[in-house]
């Protein structure tokens, strides 16, 4: 009867924790005791160990899918912030500014000596510089935001690792804590949350503790010791994740949200910055080159470049129109023998956007190069969103499989409860019968 009582308590605990995150059903095993007719062995039941329905394969499957979901979800979120920077709208951003800029040369070619139209060219050039500046600033901000997110994710990783360390400590101090269903649930909830943040591997130890290796190589938790990770995002170079000894382990961290953030910070954003800088330098350099081949309003080669930039500090970020540049500095005419006051050089400038002779732009036109750049961002975002949706479905499927294998079913617990109640009642009836028989025998002896 005591065994049945323990089994009933186990079922009661299952029902009470049916909605507890990470909890799996428990079962008290029952062991039949030896029985012999001569009474030497009385038989009956003994309570065996409480068995957990947790399936490690199902748990690993959920963690693997959570890692993929975290990675693609983070990529989709951050790329969605970057995509609007590379607008393809006709009258907005870099393409809109470039279109109006080169149109201003066409308008000026009709009346090359009109001071108002010459000023319009300078104003449109300033718009081009501003468009490149704003794009570069947006990418810088995206990098800084990624730096902050890397720090936040690493802080969360360290916090979860600290929780796992505390669980290890409890298990080490009390061997019986291994069978604590609540502590076991707490551990697996922490491991699942960690898997969404970073790729890792686990190694169970004989003392009941669990070793966690970040990236499958770097210790994060060993027994009751915690090895915190640190982010180094202070410099202009790649973001790094360091172990407690200061060793760079960034290359090991390729999964989860941290893996996505590191890829964004160290690969995606720098690549976009390089291409935008390349584009800005090409526009400025080619426009300045064509202008240098003509003559200004005084019939002399221009003394100033229209655009200036600092390539070392970032071409797109520093692109600007020389403040000293005036309408008279625009080299509208070709040099002699071309007639003075002509528009030959303006026609060269107006045709510049259709040229495919720019080796620095892989022989694309300005519009083609920008379209390729914007298209790359759009495709990356689309792929990330598709992968996020796929991983979400896979994660849901993995969790459903785990639930089917190990979660508490109230229907199943009800059936078990009825069976145990009947067994308990039968045992109680046997005891009652024996008690009555004993009283009868004693009465007969009196």
> Which residue's structure tokens are 């890397």?
150
Same domain, yes or no: 122 and 174: yes
User: Would 401 be classed as within a structural domain?
Assistant: no
Indicate the burial class of 39 (C-beta count within 10 angstroms; 0-12, 13-18, 19 or more): exposed
pLDDT in tens, 362-404: 888 888 899 999 999 999 999 999 999 999 999 999 999 988 8
Same domain, yes or no: 270 and 198: yes
Q: Is the pLDDT of residue 425 over 80?
A: no
Q: Which of 368, 395, 422 is the last residue of a domain?
A: 395
Say which DSSP state 225 is in: E
DSSP alpha helix (H) spans, 264-365: 269-292, 315-318, 344-351
User: Would 400 be classed as within a structural domain?
Assistant: no
Do 62 and 395 touch, CB atoms closer than 8 A?
yes
User: Would 403 be classed as within a structural domain?
Assistant: no
Same domain, yes or no: 18 and 133: no
The CA distance from 61 to 38, in Å, is: 54
Same domain, yes or no: 40 and 74: no
Do 182 and 190 touch, CB atoms closer than 8 A?
no
pLDDT at 35: 65
Q: For residue 320, give the H/E element and its range.
A: strand 320-321
Same domain, yes or no: 38 and 174: no
Between the alpha carbon of residue 373 and those of residues 183, 264, 313, the distances in Å are 51, 16, 21
Same domain, yes or no: 10 and 76: no
Q: What contacts 95, CB < 8 A, 6 or more positions away?
A: 87, 88, 89, 367, 370
SS3 (DSSP) at 194: helix
User: Would 402 be classed as within a structural domain?
Assistant: no
The CA distance from 174 to 172, in Å, is: 6
pLDDT at 365: 87
Do 21 and 189 touch, CB atoms closer than 8 A?
yes
Same domain, yes or no: 197 and 171: yes
Residue burial 241-270, b: 16+ Cβ < 10 Å; e: rest: bbbeeeeebbebbbbbbbbbbbbbbbebbb
**Angle subtended at Cα 97 by Cα 95 and Cα 98, rounded to the nearest 5 degrees:** 65
Same domain, yes or no: 102 and 21: no
Provide mean pLDDT across the span 262-282.
94
pLDDT in tens, 29-60: 667 777 666 666 666 667 666 666 678 888 89
Same domain, yes or no: 20 and 71: no
Q: Which of 370, 395, 420 is the last residue of a domain?
A: 395
Radius of gyration of the chain (CA): 37
Same domain, yes or no: 35 and 126: no
Same domain, yes or no: 268 and 417: no
Look up the domain containing 42 and give its range: 2-51+409-445
Q: Is the pTM of this model over 0.85?
A: no
pLDDT at 393: 96
Number of domains in the chain: 2
Do 156 and 190 touch, CB atoms closer than 8 A?
no
Same domain, yes or no: 45 and 92: no
């Amino acid at each position: 009867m005591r065994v049945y009582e323990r089994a009933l308590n186990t079922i009661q605990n299952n029902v009470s924790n049916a909605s507890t995150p990470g909890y799996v059903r428990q079962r008290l095993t029952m062991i039949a005791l030896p029985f012999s007719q001569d009474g030497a062995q009385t038989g009956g039941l003994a309570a065996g160990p409480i068995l957990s329905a947790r399936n490690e394969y199902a748990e690993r499957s959920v963690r693997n899918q959570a890692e993929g979901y975290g990675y693609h979800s983070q990529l989709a979120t951050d790329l969605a912030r970057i995509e609007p920077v590379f607008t393809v709208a006709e009258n907005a951003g870099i393409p809109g500014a470039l279109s109006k800029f080169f149109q201003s040369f066409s308008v000026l070619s009709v009346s090359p000596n009109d001071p108002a139209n010459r000023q319009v060219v300078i104003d449109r050039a300033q718009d081009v510089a501003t468009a490149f500046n704003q794009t570069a600033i947006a990418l810088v901000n995206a990098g800084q935001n990624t730096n902050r997110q890397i720090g936040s994710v690493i802080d969360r990783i360290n916090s979860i690792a600290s929780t796992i360390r505390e669980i290890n400590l409890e298990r080490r101090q009390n061997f019986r804590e291994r069978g604590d269903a609540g502590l076991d649930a707490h551990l697996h909830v922490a491991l699942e949350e960690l898997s969404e943040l970073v790729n890792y591997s686990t190694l169970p130890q004989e003392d009941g503790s669990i070793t966690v290796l970040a990236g499958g190589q770097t210790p994060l938790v060993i027994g009751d010791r915690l090895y915190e990770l640190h982010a180094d995002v202070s410099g202009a170079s790649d973001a790094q994740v360091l172990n407690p000894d200061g060793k760079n382990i960034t290359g090991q961290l390729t999964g989860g949200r941290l893996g996505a953030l590191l890829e964004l910070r160290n690969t995606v954003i720098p690549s976009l910055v390089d291409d935008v800088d390349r584009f800005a330098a090409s526009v400025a350099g080619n426009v300045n080159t064509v202008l240098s081949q003509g003559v200004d309003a005084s019939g002399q080669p221009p003394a100033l470049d229209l655009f200036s930039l600092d390539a070392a500090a970032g071409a797109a970020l520093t692109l600007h129109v020389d403040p000293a540049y005036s309408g008279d500095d625009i080299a509208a005419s070709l040099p002699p023998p071309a007639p003075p006051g002509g528009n030959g050089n303006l026609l060269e400038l107006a045709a510049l956007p259709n040229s495919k002779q720019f080796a620095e732009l892989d022989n694309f036109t300005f519009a083609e190069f920008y379209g390729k750049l914007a298209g790359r961002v759009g495709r990356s975002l689309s792929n990330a969103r598709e992968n996020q949706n796929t991983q979400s479905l896979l994660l849901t499927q993995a969790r459903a499989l785990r639930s089917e294998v190990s979660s508490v079913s109230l229907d199943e617990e009800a059936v078990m409860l009825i069976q145990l109640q009947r067994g308990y009642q039968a045992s109680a009836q046997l005891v009652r019968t024996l008690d009555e028989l004993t009283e009868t025998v004693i009465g007969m002896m009196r």
